[in-house]
Amino acid sequence: MADTPKPGLFEKGGKLYWLHSSIDAFDTFLRVPGTVTAKGAHVRDGIDLKRVMIIVVVALIPAALFGMYNVGVQTSTLYGLDWGFFHKFFYGLLRMLPLFVVSYVVGLGIEFASAQIRGEEVNEGYLVTGFLIPLIVPVDVPLWMLALATAFSVIFVKEVFGGTGMNIWNPALVARAFLFFSYPSSMSGSGVWVSKTWAGLGGVDAISAATPLAIAHDGGFDAATGAVGQYSFMDLFWGFIPGSTGETCVVAILLGAILLVWTGVASWKIMVSSIAGGLLVGWLGQLAGATALPCYYQIVMGGFLFGSVFMATDPVTAAQTETGKWIYGFLIGALAVVVRLWNPGYMEGMMLAILLMNTFAPLIDHCVVSSHMSRRARKAAKA
């Protein structure tokens, strides 16, 4: 397998040359390509995009593992089942596995096909997207919906723009947005967040568990958390609550954040500024009387932290200038909490805030660069 491509068959002019993108993808997956520098710098750094992407996947693993365990915890709690640690974990693992398989098979399939069509190498960006998608949808989402959403986002958000590096919006978030707007009943409300077991329990629809944000939606933030609400701050912090698989545990997300910031793969400026934006608006909301909830609750609820650590920091769709990153991150955090506090229809503002700021990131960069250029021109005129 590793010694493909065989000369002739997959090489230019060979019978199976049209497959070369896929063959190359597998080949370079197994072994570093043997190409040597032809122009420019004669030596190159050991890093490549595969390494960058795998670092992000590793950073997501704590959140994914915790999420799987939490799937078991939520189900056993809701149905009053007496499951042990491993039972809970493997239940979650088995529930999550089909989501990962569908996400990767559909997404990578399209990636390979479009790389074939363009005759380019297969890009490794989907390694991350494919891992993110299962972590930001309800665990019981029907697989065909997931497949449809994945296909939509890979084709219309990524490939039509030219693949990884060219896309404007974060493909994983668009997949979620697609599901949310197309199949709202499978994506929100209090019935979808806890996995029903396969045997017998599936029919018990009366039993439901709502996420803190859903409770807040129906009964206000006070009903959800805080001093009198259903979930305490520590529940939200440790993450034993219903929600999208990856988003609930603050500790697991912070572990990933540490790796991303340490390796420099994701921008700490975006993470810090989005949290600052969220805190500020949360605090203003408190002052304005929109909620009695202390502002730091906003950070640990829902997808806020997961979004600011893993989604807002996507280097392709985020602002690229360093000043721009501060502005971009701050506005994401601020907008997400604005949506939560002042939009009665929909509580989870993070997804829309990030997608909106993805749209405006090039504009932010444009402003930063133009103002820098005019400052430079003024300095030059003075000198």
Partner 1 sequence: MPIKFKRLVLKKGLDIPIKGKAAPVVLKRVVPDVVAIKPTDFKGLVPRLLVREGDKVLAGSPVMADKLHPEILITSPVSGTVRQIVRGEKRKLLAVLVKADAKQEYVDFGIPDIVKEGQARDILLKSGLWASLVQRPYGVMASLDAQPKIIYISTFNTAPLAPDNEFALDGRLEDLQSGILALTCFAPVEEGITGDDSLFAKLGSVFQHRVSGPHPAGNPGVQISHFNPIQKGETVWTVSPMLVAAIGHLVNTGKLDLMRRVAVTGPDATKLGYVECLPGTPVADIAHVLPDVRVIGGDVLSGENLGAEGYLGFFQDQLTLIREGREREWFGWAKPIRPKVFSSSMCYFSWLTPKKEYEMDTNVHGGPRAFVETKCFEDVTPMDIFPIYLIKACMAGDIEKMEQYGIYEVLPEDLALCDYVDPSKNEIQAAIQKGIDLMIKEMA
Residues near partner 1 (CB under 8 A) are 2, 24, 28, 30-37, 39-52, 54-55, 121, 123-125, 162-166, 262-265, 267, 315-316, 320-322, 369, 372-373, 376, 380, 383
- Render 133-164 in DSSP notation, one character per residue: HHHTS-TT--HHHHHHHHHHHIIIIIGGGTST
Hey, what are 127's tokens? 């390694």
Residue 75 beta carbon to partner 1: minimum distance, rounded to whole angstroms: 34
By beta-carbon proximity to partner 1, the closer residue of 171 and 229 is: 171
Tell me the three-class secondary structure of 38-63, residue by residue: CCCCCCCCCCCHHHHHHHHHHHHHHH
Contact by Cβ (8 Å): 245, 71: yes
Contact by Cβ (8 Å): 150, 115: no
Largest CA distance in the chain: 80
Question: Could you give the CA distance from residue 96 to residue 134 in angstroms, rounded to a whole number?
Answer: 7
Residue 319 beta carbon to partner 1: minimum distance, rounded to whole angstroms: 11
By beta-carbon proximity to partner 1, the closer residue of 163 and 246 is: 163
Residue 214 beta carbon to partner 1: minimum distance, rounded to whole angstroms: 35
Residue 86 beta carbon to partner 1: minimum distance, rounded to whole angstroms: 27
By beta-carbon proximity to partner 1, the closer residue of 124 and 247 is: 124
Q: In angstroms, what CA-CA distances link 357 with 59, 168, 218, 228, 337?
A: 23, 10, 28, 34, 14
If we measure between CA atoms, which residue out of 327, 329, 313 comes closest to residue 369? Answer: 327
By beta-carbon proximity to partner 1, the closer residue of 160 and 166 is: 166
Residue 309 beta carbon to partner 1: minimum distance, rounded to whole angstroms: 17
By beta-carbon proximity to partner 1, the closer residue of 11 and 48 is: 48
If we measure between CA atoms, which residue out of 352, 314, 2, 267 comes closest to residue 127? Answer: 314
Residue 265 beta carbon to partner 1: minimum distance, rounded to whole angstroms: 7
By beta-carbon proximity to partner 1, the closer residue of 77 and 321 is: 321
